[in-house]
Amino acid sequence: MKRTRTRVYDSLSLLVPDIMLAVQLEKPKPRTSEERLMAAVLEDALDMLRKHPLLRPSSADWILADDQAWPFSFVNICAALNLNVDCVRNALREKGML
């Protein structure tokens, strides 16, 4: 279990800016099964952006969509994990992943 959590946060670490305040270093920890599943879905999308160029368009489309009707949409996952949608998207753009 601990390995999975660490891997999720390693994937999310590429969204961390180069300079941070000490209070920003604490990462939100998924508590429920649903939150862990949502974190895994987000991790998978980030892995696809990073490692699989042929799958990049479908991951990018999912990340850029503003769909809120589906529980596992990017917007809803970010909300459930207390991540700012625009900040995540901007960080991915800055890293050249979107």
Q: What is the pLDDT of residues 40-60, one digit of tens each?
A: 999 999 999 989 888 889 999
Query: Is the entire prediction scored with pTM above 0.75?
Result: no
Q: Which residues does 15 contact at the CB level (< 8 Å), separation at least 6? A: 87, 88, 91, 92
Q: Give the DSSP H or E segment for 89.
A: helix 85-94
Segment 22-31, tens digit of pLDDT: 555 566 565 8
Q: Report the distance separating Cα 40 and Cα 45, nearest Å.
A: 9
Q: What's residue 3's pLDDT?
A: 47
